[in-house]
Amino acid sequence: CGPDKFLDDVADDDFAEGCRLTNLIGQKAVETLDEMKLKAMRKKLPSPKNPKYKMAVVGFTAPGGAAMNTDKDKTGSRYDSTPIANGVINAGASCDLIDYTPDSHDGFAKMVDKYDGLIVRINPGQLSAPGVVAGAQERFDTLMMSCVGKGKPVWSSPAVQKQMGAKDALVKIKDMSCGLPDTYAYYTQEELEVGFKKCAAFQPRVIKQNRGSAGEGIWLVWLMDKPYCKNFGDASCSDNDKLKLMEMNDNHVEYHTVREFLDFCVKGPGGSAGQWKSTFPGKYLEGGKEAGGQLVDQRLLPRIVEGEVRMQMVKDTLFAIIHKKPTEGNMSAVGGVSDYTFYEPDAPEFAELKAKFEADIPKVMDSMGLGGEPLPILWTGDFIPVDDHLAPYVVGEFNCSCVGISKFGAACGPDKFLDDVADDDFAEGCR
């Protein structure tokens, strides 16, 4: 310090010690700014003055209060909608939080016309909940598809949710490296009768209903008391052949004849289907194909006991890998009975899976007849390990219907908000 002095005059030891302090000062200053930025992002940020695009996150509040809106925070918005809107704003676009209003559909339609793109955050089934105006889901879906027709992206559009989220998506990708070639879909009782009897006589199978999201109506199927045929098509099961069945929502086991299982799938329990322990009513083909009535039939992959690998995707970018391993004594990780291990997207354990899936991604939308639509903005693929295949894992399920951001989970509840989310979780969720 002095009119003729500079840092060159400081002894090396003193300079090094001083820098140790000033480096810490700088570090703490930047940390404080980061903390302030994250704190600010716990509320909706102001939109930029000259946004690149005008966007909105679309929600819906069902009648019935908190009991019918279990995904909401204390402001009435979905618990992860505010951070999503802030992410859009940080990318240079404006973003509003808006609610669909079935009682004023035309007014809502006029309002959304001003936006360049929409991110829909409405839980499946909410627009069909008790007390909602009849036909609200259909009118909302029609409006969203009209936006798509005008060249405005909707994430995810009704068409994408229906095609990609349906179990028969597995049939449409069966010839990709991430699919299984011996995957079949049944839409009628006749198709189910012929196809299932032939497949079940050849090898253990997995039968998946289209509805539900926690393993209900997903059955592992083993033929009992007789050998499998050597080649596919050499034999078909008879009505009286016995089956061992395990439902994936709770891993409970039942024993039934082929006839009882088929009748349960079509008509539900009782009568010719006999009595069932399952808490869900079967009738998986009800309503026909257009209403989502379908069953998908795949070979049972014995390595499912090793768990499933969830690839969490943001459009075409892998964000995280989650290994879901069944808890001790359980067969499958489906239904929540699992332990979770989280990995970064470049984890070497899953490098081959990542490479194979990224090669398949450009073909996914075309395979489902969705070539004109963008990939979902937030979606997941659940993979099961397989032997003797083009890839080390195959897809067991896609999910693109309002996938939740678990790091913000503490903000979910009628008296909760983003302030209740731990700093580390909030930072990771915002990333």
DSSP string covering 355-396: HHHHHHHHHHHHHTT-TTSPPPSSEEEEEEE-SSSSSSEEEE
- Locate tokens 């209060």: which residue? 65
Check residue 290 and give its pLDDT: 81
CA distance 401 to 412: 18
Q: How far is CA 11 from CA 23, 26, 30, 181, in A?
A: 18, 22, 28, 74
User: Which amino acid, 304?
Assistant: I
Check residue 309 and give its pLDDT: 94
Check residue 166 and give its pLDDT: 84
CA distance 59 to 271: 43
Max CA pair span of the chain: 103
Vertex 84 angle, CA 83 and 89, to 5°: 90
Check residue 188 and give its pLDDT: 94
Q: Are strands 338-343 and 379-385 parallel, antiparallel or unpaired?
A: unpaired
How much of the chain is in helix, strand and coil states, percent to nearest 5?
35, 20, 45
**Paired strand residues for 86:** none
* Nearest CA-CA partner of 310 in 350, 358, 267, 255: 350
- Locate tokens 């219907």: which residue? 401
Q: What is the pLDDT along the chain (431 residues), one digit of tens a residue?
A: 889 888 888 888 988 988 899 899 999 888 888 777 766 667 889 999 999 999 999 999 988 888 888 899 998 899 999 999 999 999 999 999 999 999 999 999 999 999 999 999 998 888 888 899 999 999 999 999 999 999 999 998 999 988 888 888 999 999 999 999 999 999 999 999 999 999 999 999 999 988 766 778 889 999 999 999 999 989 999 999 999 999 988 888 999 999 999 999 999 999 999 999 888 888 999 888 887 888 999 999 988 888 889 999 999 999 999 998 877 766 666 655 678 888 999 999 999 999 999 999 999 899 988 888 899 999 999 999 999 888 899 998 898 888 888 888 999 888 998 889 898 888 888 88
Vertex 140 angle, CA 209 and 411, to 5°: 75
CA distance 260 to 256: 6
99: left (phi over 0), alpha (psi -120 to 50) or beta: beta
Task: Write out pLDDT tens, residues 288-330.
Answer: 888 788 899 999 998 888 888 999 999 999 999 999 887 776 6
Tokens of 147: 């936006």
Check residue 58 and give its pLDDT: 96
Tokens of 355: 């490479």
Give the HSE-up count for residue 382: Cα atoms under 13 Å, Cβ half-sphere: 21
Tokens of 265: 């799938």
What dihedral do alpha carbons 292, 243, 392, 338 form, nearest 10°? Answer: 80
CA distance 194 to 295: 13
Check residue 335 and give its pLDDT: 55
**Paired strand residues for 340:** 324
* Nearest CA-CA partner of 277 in 293, 255, 297, 300: 255
Tokens of 8: 């060159």
Tokens of 195: 């196809």
Check residue 40 and give its pLDDT: 61
